[in-house]
Structure 1
Amino acid sequence: MKKKIKELINQIKKYTDNIKLRRYYIENTMEGRSYFAIFLDSLVIKVILFILGFIYFLIRTNSLGFTVTITVQLILLFWIINARIKKSRLNTAKKEVYDKVAKEKIFGDLINKTPYEYLSYLKSALEKYKVEDIKLFHQTDVDMLANLDGNRIGIKCYQYNKDYKVSSNHVREFFLTLNKMDINEGIIITTSTFSEDVKEILPKLKDHGKLHLMDIDEIVKLFKQVELYPSDNDIKKIILDKISDRKRKMKEYKNEILSKSKIGKYFLIGLIIYLWGGFTPFETYYSLVALILILLAIISFGKYLSSFIYVDSANEEEIL
């Protein structure tokens, strides 16, 4: 019996988690619109189409039964087509969210490593690709030496935040160091991106050597190929944790707004604004603001009072 109850609880949790994930996918790819707003828009469109279709067929056929039948059928057809479109959009939204979350996780994991851990981790990733005989070099402008397609190469790894870009000066210094070492090919890897002036300097260096640039997007692609990319379960867990954090912050924000320390302030400020509004041309506006503040005071007081009732009832249960 306990096993069945546990399975039922797990199924319910899985179902609710899927609903949360679905909402997250849609809300994060619809320019900040809430899931409820999207649902409401869809419902309004269906109602409008039903009314327009009903009026059109009623005027054309003058038959209520036929009008209801044909309108319902057309709405059902529209519903089916719309459901397929929504499913396709949901899959697209899911992929976009997965890519974004995976990129954030990879960036966070890399940026939080120590410099040595960062280099060692990239070394293991490159070894799983096609870079061979990698050795940590630990020099200012070159971090690793390796072989790529039979050629000796130098590798420089920058562990930068998103706001700090690798500039043309970094590229130039790395390239000059490689030339001094008689190496004509190199890779620059960064957890951030490259500045625009890097694109301008690369064509000038082509005749003297070959450089491969890997920003965070290229690192993500590399990790996909060498199976260091986060799993679907890892990504889902991260998203669910984000949802939980957002709910917790909203609860804290609500508790702050409706805290007992605000009751007197809301009421006093509301009363002052209401009285002040009587001496201005905007009495209605001031009265509305005052009403909102007084309502907040009443709600805060009700919340404070209910907490006392809850504590008292809990104490009674403990005594019994």
Structure 2
Amino acid sequence: MLNEESLTDSLKRRLKDLKRRKNIKNYYLKKIKGGKSYNAVLLDSLIIKFIMTLLFFIVLISKTGYFILSLIISLLFLFSVLYASYYIKAKKFNKKVIEINKDIVNRKIMKEINYFTNDEFIQYVREIFEKYYNISFDEYKENIDLVGKKYDEVWAIKCFKTSQEDRISKKDIRDFKDEVDEIGIERGIVVTNSYFVSGMKTEYEGIIELVDFDSLVYMVKEIGEYPSKEDVEEIIISRYEENKKDISKRKGHVFSKTKVFKYLFLSFCLFILSTMTIYSFYYMIMAFISLSLAIVSVFYEYFQKLIFKETEEE
């Protein structure tokens, strides 16, 4: 009995994991294929290969006249095409997945930073720089947010938290540089969660170190705080669950208890009209559709209550 239960639990876990993997792959494919689902992409691919194989078989049998031989060669052709297609698509898919994961992580980090106050962003930068450079930084004042020392060299950091659309201007850098030069600090660093005006990195190379959002993400990765593949998959699954809830809500607006009588009344009216007009067949179809919606609404409401009851018991 125990073995049977453990086998059932193992099977359930396996099926759950397979479903999870399919949902993740479905998410990636929708991103890559412009909204097409996993099943749609798979079906399209199989149909195209089947048509190719069928045409190949027709040409082969017309040339040779041997049905069995043509069938065997055609099946070998199909398996070869499937294997080659899978290998090529797998490479492209994995490359795209890396890009999508990068975008997901970047958006996650952006979202986290957007919730920070200016002081919180300064502390965020401080923690990253202390781990990345192995230096202890202290808060400063005015145009300098943080100062630290390494090998008798004083470092100064200025943080700019802004929107992703804004760019840090030359004036912002110049004000910071003037302050650094006045105090006599050896190394100045400007950090932003956005980007700098075009050409500024080249202009200030060797004078002021400019750290934009991409450089900040790189540092996060280097200190080991970059979200893992498993973290990204959890984000994808959570998005899938949110979308599922939204779809369920939209279904609820169509299939609800309040709509049952409306659908029945509409069905009755359409049926009466079908006996009075020349388009009787059209009205009969619409009456049948309205009646079907009423029946579905009744079952939907029942299952919703059943699911809610099971959730409460759990």
TM-score of Structure 1 vs Structure 2, range by shorter chain: 0.7 to 0.9
Equivalences, count: 295
The answer as to 2:209 corresponding to 1:212 is yes
Q: Which residue of 2 aligns with 1:162?
A: 164
1:97 is matched with which residue?
Answer: 100
User: Deviation string for 1:142-162 (max 9, x for gaps)?
Assistant: 211124676433212223333
Q: Distance in 2 between matches of 1:127 and 1:56?
A: 70
Post-superposition shift, 1:229?
Answer: 0.6
**Partners of 1:110 and 1:93 in 2: CA distance:** 26
Residues 39-87 of structure 1 show CA distances to partners (whole Å, capped at 9, x for unaligned) of 2320221122112101111121111111111111111111111121222
> 2:25 matched to 1:22?
yes
User: 1:79-228 to 2 correspondence within 5 Å?
Assistant: 79-130=82-133, 132-137=135-140, 139-147=141-149, 151-183=153-185, 185-194=187-196, 198-205=197-204, 210-228=207-225
Instruction: Normalising by structure 1, report the TM-score.
Output: 0.77
Match of 2:297 in 1: 304
For 1:186 and 1:12, the matched residues in 2 are separated by: 55
The one-letter code matched in structure 2 to 1:306 is: F
**Structure 1 partner of 2:231:** 234
SS in 1 for 2:162: coil
Distance 1:156 1:313 in 2: 58
The residue aligned with 2:58 is 55
Please give the alpha-carbon distance, in whole angstroms, between the structure 2 residues aligned to 1:230 and 1:298.
51
Indicate which of 243, 248, 251 corresponds to 1:246: 243
Contact 1:153–1:186 under 8 Å retained in 2:
yes
Which residue identity is paired with 2:245? R
The 1:147–1:257 alpha-carbon spacing in structure 2 relative to 1, beyond 3 Å, is farther
Task: Give secondary structure in 2 for the equivalent of 1:179.
Answer: helix
* One-letter amino acid of the structure 1 residue matched with residue 29 of structure 2: I
Letter in 2 for 1:159: K
Residue by residue over 1:232-268, the C-alpha shift from the partner in whole angstroms, topping out at 9 and shown as x without a partner, is 2222111111111111111112222344556749987
Question: Which runs of 5 or more structure 1 residues have no equivalent in the other structure?
Answer: 276-283, 315-320
Return the letter of the residue paired with 2:232.
I
List per-residue Cα deviations over 1:202-224 (Å, max 9, x = no partner). 55555xx6222222222111111
What residue identity is the alignment partner of 2:299?
S
The higher-RCO structure (CA 8 Å, 6+ apart) is 1
Q: Are 1:266 and 1:296, in contact at CA under 8 Å, matched by a contact in 2?
A: no
Greater displacement, 89-98 / 76-85: 89-98
Which residue does 1:256 correspond to in 2? 253
Displacement of 1:307 after TM fit? 4.8
Deviation at 1:199, TM superposition (A): 2.5
Superposition pairs of residues 4-23 of structure 1, within 5 angstroms: 4-23=7-26
Worse overlay, 36-45 or 114-123: 114-123
Specify the alignment match of 1:280 in structure 2: none
Q: Match of 2:185, as an amino acid? A: I
- CA contact 1:145–1:153 (8 Å) conserved in 2: yes
Equivalent pairs: percent with the same residue? 23
Structure 2: tracts of 5 or more residues without a match: 274-278, 308-314
Q: Which residue of 2 aligns with 1:67?
A: 70
Match of 2:37 in 1: 34
